[in-house]
Structure 1
Amino acid sequence: MDLESHRFIGYFEPEQAQKLCQLALVEDHPDGDLIFEEGEIPDYLYLVLKGRVEFSKRAEGDRYQVVTVAEPNSFFGEFGVLDGQPRSARAIAKGGATLAKVSRDHLMTILRDARGEVVLQLFSYITRQLRVTTTQYVKQMVRKQKMELLGEMVNTILHDFRSPFTGIQLSSSMIRELHPDEETQEWCDLISMQIQRMLGMAEEVLEFSRGSTTLSRRRVDVREMLERFENLNRVYFQSCGIEWKIDIREEIYIRADSNKILRVLQNLVGNAIEALEDREGHVTITAQIRDNWCEISIQDDGPGIPEMIQDHLFDAFVTYGKQGGTGLGTAIAKSIVEAHGGAIGFESNPAAGTTFWIRLPLSHDDPIRDEIVEEVRLV
């Protein structure tokens, strides 16, 4: 949007509005650019013309807690300009932003000459924004407390479960040695894989609560990954009466942590099966190359996602109609996909069911390239 049509400029009479536009400095800020730091002495009011600006407060060490976000046609920094106190949060451009800034001295001069109605409109808007920001901040703090509690609980569960899981693994190994036939070997392999999978799922929740994860990326054959997923879930699908299909017609390679992508698929397919409500249904996974991405879609013919939660489906602790549901499955899936530099979304309606899609970067690397292990921050 242009400066002249901004909400803030519209509060003033034509002569004052024109003067503000002449005095304002328009600047482009790349993604991640620091606009001002928490505790700085305020010198400008900022008008958002394009992009987004994220505000956060220092929490622990070098970590920050997001407070709110400013969108186009909004403005920020007004409290510091009005009372002269240090900035209460830091501001960072997200995805690139275009801002117009007006110096404190210029703005105060114009406000002194403004009509009372103009000042009242400004303060009315500022009060509404303060209410919104306070509500968002409270939600963020409640979420933070929930995540801390979740982390403590999962850590305790992992500690308590390792001993019986070890016993199951040892028993499986003993059965393998006593019965070398092929069928027994396959069942023992499945037991071992499922134990590792359960531990991995618990670790995933723990990492999500901490806000970071370790990715062990390598070149992954998508067909082999999906066949492994089917092998791990064959008994589960049969017990649920689900017709299962994998549709992949070309060679596709991605650079990813295959175990974590498998957990994303597990969360999404698990949701699809639960949506079928113990009735016979169909689940199809399709993988294809689209626009230089690997796109994996999970389609079911269930009743669709309730409209009331669609806008917040990927938020933590959002669930609907599931007994014992934590509301973390899709939130964890989104964090893992985005940690890989990918994207996730869905389409849903009661008549056609739901289709989730995941886009992941393709790998064109030499297949013998070493595995890359890195710590990634989860958003």
Structure 2
Amino acid sequence: MAESGRRDHTARIPPGGLRWLILLGRRHGPHSYPLLGILCLAVLCAVALPLINALVIYPTYTKIMIGTFEDSARRLAVLTIPPSIKHARLGPAVLDTPRFLADVYRLETDFGLLKVRVLAPDGMILYSTETAEIDTVESGPEFRDVVAKGRRYARLGVLHSEPVLGRTTTIDTVAAFVPLMRGNDFLGAFELVFDVTGPKRELERFNLYATAGSFVISFALLGVVLVLIRQEAAKEHSRHQAEKLREDVEQITRHDIKTPLLGVLSGITYLENFTDLDADQREMLDDMRRAANTGMELISRSLDLYKMETGTYEYLPGEVDVLSVCRRVTNDLSGLARRAGVIMETRFEDKPLAREEVLVLSTEENLFYAVLANLVKNSVEASGLGDKVSVHLRADAGKGEFSAAVHNPAPVPESVRANFFDKYATAGKRTGTGLGTYSARLMVEVMGGRIHMDSSEERGTTVTVTLPLKPRT
């Protein structure tokens, strides 16, 4: 029977590489949020860094390289134009001088230019390294829309040499147009074509190394994070298995301990019915019966809590006079309060609770008693000599709610305020198990209500239970 009630915490975890990642996100998952954040960052870097290299860094360096050759073209063009024609519109008569042709030839040979062209304002090619282009017209949009308006322009290109022994050589080039201006008057332009094969290859090599390096760094970081996450998941799995084992042992113990208690009760009944007992012996047997019944009740309540945890508890509400239950709780705990020197007060609608007052709710009496007794007992135990524990009861017909607020002047330690209703959360109680407020929360939720705690150094601590006045349909 105990075996059938066990929960298999690992049965729903799929096998394979995702097992440890799923385990990491289980009960204590928030402890691993920093590792999961680093994992996401590593994945983002692995994807983003190569993209940044390809879409930002490499185009930027290419643009810088083109700009450098464009600026060199401007300086070379200025040096090549003879001073006598520097401010004249370029035409056949102006450029047909031995000095100009010599300067152009020297420009080609000394600076290793692949091509030089001189263009008139209307786009006619006055001079070109490729003589077949002379007297033709440059009609490209770059010349018409950019260069002719006085702005420099450069573009990256490729030249293919004539095949030699079946092989064609590819040369990377930068073609730079340099306009010659006199004020706003366009005088003509130079086009200089540079061989940039070497620099471009170096740039591509740099981009390749940068991309590969970013991949290596990102995936190394990713690997380290995955190892850390796997280690964390293994620890979490071990904790999870230990908790499962503890719960299984508790289930078996709760189930099996009933047998000897039933034997004790049977023995007490036999002694009462079939033996001669004096008054002291009967009083002792009564005490033994009460102790055994208390043990049975505690075991039954423990089993009920387990069913609440697993969602298998069968809630059977009935008509309950909750004010009568409140009076019974205060009476049952009055002895504990007297021994602790604590004053107890119960009020209904801001007035002392009278014996004749009645308020019937649809709930389960044992659950309501257990919740209220638990909270009042905790408040008494947390209070000091001369402190007052008050229970404020209120029925709000407008909201359709009944509330019971238990207050004591002692604040809850800050270390447990955030997880006050969590399992095993306790502080300041030498024999505390951390199950009281947790079980109260479970029972209130089963009853369809809410439970809330407010605590501060100035106001003390108030735990409020809110239940519906009418049963939910």
**TM class by shorter-chain length?**
0.5 to 0.7
Q: Determine the structure 2 residue equivalent to 1:247.
A: 347
Is 1:151 matched with 2:259?
Answer: no
What SS does structure 1 have at the residue aligned with 2:314? strand
Is 1:357 matched with 2:457?
Answer: no
Structure 1 position 346, deviation (Å): 0.9
Contact 2:453 / 2:464 at 8 angstroms: preserved in 1?
A: yes
**Counterparts in 2 of 1:23-62, with a 5 A limit?**
39=14
Relative to the length of structure 2, the TM-score reads 0.45
Q: From the superposition, tell whether residues 206 and 358 of structure 1 become closer, same or farther in structure 2 (CA, over 3 Å).
A: same
Distance 1:113 1:222 in 2: 68
Relative to the length of structure 1, the TM-score reads 0.54
Contact 1:243 / 1:283 at 8 angstroms: preserved in 2?
A: yes
**Corresponding pairs, count:** 273
Distance 2:446 2:346 in 1: 25
Distance 1:164 1:151 in 2: 21
Which of 302, 316, 325 matches 2:423? 316
Distance 1:276 1:170 in 2: 44
Q: Determine the structure 2 residue equivalent to 1:238.
A: 338
Contact 1:219 / 1:363 at 8 angstroms: preserved in 2?
A: no
Listed one character per residue, the Cα deviations across residues 20-76 of structure 1 (whole Å, up to 9, x for unaligned) are xxxxxxxxxxxxxxxxx865999xxxxxxxxxxxx789xxxxxxx86858999x999
Distance 1:269 1:172 in 2: 36
Structure 1 position 345, deviation (Å): 2.3
Distance 2:433 2:306 in 1: 13
Q: Determine the structure 1 residue equivalent to 2:402.
A: 294
Contact 1:201 / 1:263 at 8 angstroms: preserved in 2?
A: no
Distance 1:226 1:346 in 2: 19
Contact 2:333 / 2:377 at 8 angstroms: preserved in 1?
A: no
Is 1:226 matched with 2:344?
Answer: no
1:240 maps to a residue whose letter is A
Distance 1:75 1:309 in 2: 26
What SS does structure 2 have at the residue aligned with 1:319? coil
Judging by fraction of residues, say which structure has more strand.
Answer: 1
Q: Determine the structure 1 residue equivalent to 2:186.
A: none
Structure 1 position 224, deviation (Å): 2.0
Q: From the superposition, tell whether residues 109 and 322 of structure 1 become closer, same or farther in structure 2 (CA, over 3 Å).
A: closer
What SS does structure 1 have at the residue aligned with 2:466? strand
1:203 maps to a residue whose letter is S
Contact 2:326 / 2:372 at 8 angstroms: preserved in 1?
A: no
1:294 maps to a residue whose letter is F
Distance 1:124 1:221 in 2: 62
Distance 2:345 2:287 in 1: 20
Is 1:262 matched with 2:369?
Answer: yes
Distance 1:228 1:68 in 2: 43
What SS does structure 2 have at the residue aligned with 1:263? helix
2:250 maps to a residue whose letter is L
Is 1:201 matched with 2:301?
Answer: no
Identity rate, percent: 19
What SS does structure 1 have at the residue aligned with 2:317? strand
2:249 maps to a residue whose letter is L
2:299 maps to a residue whose letter is A
Structure 1 position 333, deviation (Å): 1.4
Distance 1:71 1:352 in 2: 36
Structure 1 position 259, deviation (Å): 0.2
State which drifts further: 263-272 or 109-118.
109-118
Listed one character per residue, the Cα deviations across residues 121-154 of structure 1 (whole Å, up to 9, x for unaligned) are 7667666665665554444333322222233333
Structure 1 position 299, deviation (Å): 0.8
Q: From the superposition, tell whether residues 140 and 359 of structure 1 become closer, same or farther in structure 2 (CA, over 3 Å).
A: farther
Q: CA RMSD in A?
A: 4.9
Q: From the superposition, tell whether residues 263 and 159 of structure 1 become closer, same or farther in structure 2 (CA, over 3 Å).
A: farther
Judging by fraction of residues, say which structure has more helix.
Answer: 2
| Unaligned residue ranges in structure 1 (runs of 5+) | 1-36, 43-54, 58-64, 83-107, 180-188, 367-379
Q: From the superposition, tell whether residues 364 and 328 of structure 1 become closer, same or farther in structure 2 (CA, over 3 Å).
A: closer
Q: Which structure is richer in relative contact order (CA contacts within 8 A, separation 6 or more)?
A: 1
Listed one character per residue, the Cα deviations across residues 203-260 of structure 1 (whole Å, up to 9, x for unaligned) are 1123334644332211322212212223333333333333222212386543321102
Distance 2:326 2:271 in 1: 28
